[in-house]
């Protein structure tokens, strides 16, 4: 959460983090199937928050950014290089952050649909 707070305070760093996360997610799509949609929602939600287009509670942004940082980081509980299990901990973090923010995610997805923005950033 401390690193997430640093990214939120220094918003100019967030686009780089989100681009890196999106590239890694594309490379590991098959391992992320269970949490793919949640992760993609986090990336879009953070981008819209960053642009000032969509308001999100700070705690939710911190959790989403924290999940993205954990996913991108090579220093985590199970190293990503470990066959099969490498991304299990990343998926658990993404799913935990998504479960904790179900209302925020639901509101954001409704906003995307109602404002004709699904998947666009």
* Whether pLDDT at 46 is above 80: yes
Q: How far is CA 11 from CA 31, 49, 81, 105, in A?
A: 29, 10, 29, 21
Identify the weakest region by mean pLDDT among 2-16, 33-47, 74-88: 74-88
* Whether pLDDT at 120 is above 60: no
Confidence of residue 69 (pLDDT cuts 50, 70, 90): very high
**What pLDDT digit, counting tens, does each position of 82-92 carry?**
876 888 888 89
* Whether pLDDT at 32 is above 80: no
Please name which of 76, 68, 81 lies closest in space to residue 31, comparing C-alpha atoms.
Answer: 81
Greater model confidence, 117 or 51: 51
Tell me the whole-structure pTM to 2 decimals: 0.80
Greater model confidence, 80 or 43: 43
Buried b / exposed e across 57-72, counting CB within 10 Å, b at 16+?
A: eeebbbbbbbbbbbbb
C-alpha span between 77 and 86 (Å, rounded): 9
Greater model confidence, 62 or 117: 62
pLDDT given at position 111 = 96
pLDDT given at position 55 = 96
């Amino acid at each position: 959460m401390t690193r997430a707070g640093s990214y939120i305070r220094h918003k100019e760093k967030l686009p780089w983090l989100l681009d890196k996360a999106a590239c890694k997610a594309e490379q590991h799509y098959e391992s992320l199937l269970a949490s793919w949609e949640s992760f993609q929602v986090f990336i879009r939600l953070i981008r819209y928050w960053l642009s000032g287009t969509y308001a999100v509670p700070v705690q939710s942004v911190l959790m989403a950014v924290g999940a993205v940082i954990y996913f991108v980081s090579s220093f985590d509980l199970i190293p990503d290089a470990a066959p099969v299990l490498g991304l299990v901990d990343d998926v658990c973090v993404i799913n935990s952050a998504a479960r904790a923010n179900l209302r925020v995610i639901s509101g954001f997805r409704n906003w995307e649909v109602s404002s004709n923005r699904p998947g666009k950033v």
